[in-house]
Amino acid sequence: PQYINGIYVFEFEKEITIYYDNNYTVKDANLNVTGRTILYYPDDYPIGGKDEILKDTETKEKGKIKINHYIYDEQDNKHTTKELAPSEEITKEIGQEYETKPKEKIPSNYECINTEPEGHKGTIEKGTKEINYYYKLKTPTVESDTESSIISGGKQDQQGNWEITKGEPIKYEIKYTSKIKDYKGKALIEVKAQLPEGTGIDETKSELAGGTYNKETNEITWTKQIENIDTFAHIGETTSNNNPDNTTDVGAISNRPQYINGIYVFEFAKEITIYYDNNYTLDDIGLKITGKTILYYPDDYPEKGGQNLKEEEKQEQHKKSGSIIIHHYIYDEQDQKETQEKIAPDEQIIGKIGDTYQTEPAKQIPENYECTNEKPEGHTGTIEKKPKEITYYYKLIK
């Protein structure tokens, strides 16, 4: 016995050897130990006195339940011992009931896969019993789309081939959209534009909108790393951010990320101007666009921290381009003659073969002229490989 800072401590410890009187098969060979401490009133206490019990405390032996919260690697079908949350303990007297539950406060990108593991509830026994709950990383999804178009430049011959003149600017528009769901972490966005095979560009003149040109592959590349995406924190919300602090440009993608009901939406749009380095006659002058979104494992994930979790690549379904040429000519009513004298500049519609188009009379014409054929043959239709020419005529108002 000893005193420790005003507390009397009595420690009892014995080793015993038991010889049982027969053969037995039992569930548990441990002893069930009970300790009892009795305190008494002072002998001269006015009520009670000698041998009158003041406090009687009986302590039964206790058992322990340890509750672990581990990560389950779904890809490798592996139960790890990496803790997602700190373990918990329940200590009770042997024979008492207990019940455990999955951890409520866990990272939002994880979910429990065994809500009622073996032994999740029962009766306290001697020693320590461990209950393991496992949590898997939620599987993110990525939906993406790519699109490109020719804004201006180039000319088709009668067979539908495209003629490019050295030094002539060809303007393109490139779009890529990535929608990320059920994800928390960083992402890498990469967009590539493949130029027509066999061509080269004048890098000193071409305007690539922050992209990087690779002469070997004849590609232009834009990339962006995005930090701190958390779709779970924006469920039921719609937010936008035109100038985010959590993005890092490598090739200067200007973006407009936003959350739409728990979906992170990244939109990429660029206009570029290409000056080709020579004269070319091509079957098609369109670009081939590929967009890629890469998601990563959390940095503290067992064995795979920071590695690629998901890679989604979307390549535009490439269609060749065709053109519509629109002329605006004067009609000589007096001589009833269709001239080729321009009243307004020619217009060009460039689109993908199979797309629909619609034309209309010019709006910027002198006030003393009016259109004589507001719906000429072919004013609407479908773009084909060979170019179409649509002519509007305008007469002088008398």
Closest CA to 339 of 392, 390, 388: 392
Residues facing residue 389 across a β-bridge = 325
pLDDT of the residue at 240: 65
Tokens for 100?
A: 């455990």
Provide, rounded to the nearest whole percent, the portion of the chain with pLDDT above 90. 74
pLDDT band at 108 (very low <50, low <70, confident <90, very high): very high
- Residue-wise pLDDT for 52-82, tens only, equals 888 878 777 889 999 999 999 999 999 999 9
pLDDT of the residue at 107: 95
pLDDT of the residue at 343: 95
Q: What is the mean pLDDT of the chain?
A: 90
pLDDT of the residue at 254: 45
Asked if pLDDT for residue 300 goes beyond 60, the answer is: yes
Give mean pLDDT, residues 251-264: 69
**Amino acid at site 273:** T
pLDDT band at 256 (very low <50, low <70, confident <90, very high): low
Tokens for 186?
A: 């960083």
pLDDT of the residue at 257: 63
Burial per residue of 66-88, b for 16 or more beta-carbon CB atoms within 10 angstroms, e otherwise: ebbbbbbbeeeeeeeeeebbeee
- Residue-wise pLDDT for 226-247, tens only, equals 999 999 999 888 876 544 444 4
Tokens for 151?
A: 């804004």
Residues facing residue 130 across a β-bridge = 66
Provide, rounded to the nearest whole percent, the portion of the chain with pLDDT above 70. 95
- Residue-wise pLDDT for 329-363, tens only, equals 999 998 999 999 999 999 999 888 889 999 999 99
- Residue-wise pLDDT for 190-204, tens only, equals 999 999 999 999 999
**DSSP per-residue codes, 151-200:** EE--EE-TTS-EEE-TT-EEEEEEEEEEEEES-EEEEEEEEEEEPPTT--
pLDDT of the residue at 247: 43
**What does the alpha-carbon distance between residue 36 and residue 58 come to, in Å, rounded to a whole number?**
4
Residues facing residue 37 across a β-bridge = 57
DSSP state of 207: B
- Cα separations in angstroms, 131 against 51, 64, 167, 185, 254: 47, 11, 73, 30, 50
pLDDT band at 91 (very low <50, low <70, confident <90, very high): very high
User: Among all chains, which residue has been given the structure tokens 């990525």?
Assistant: 142
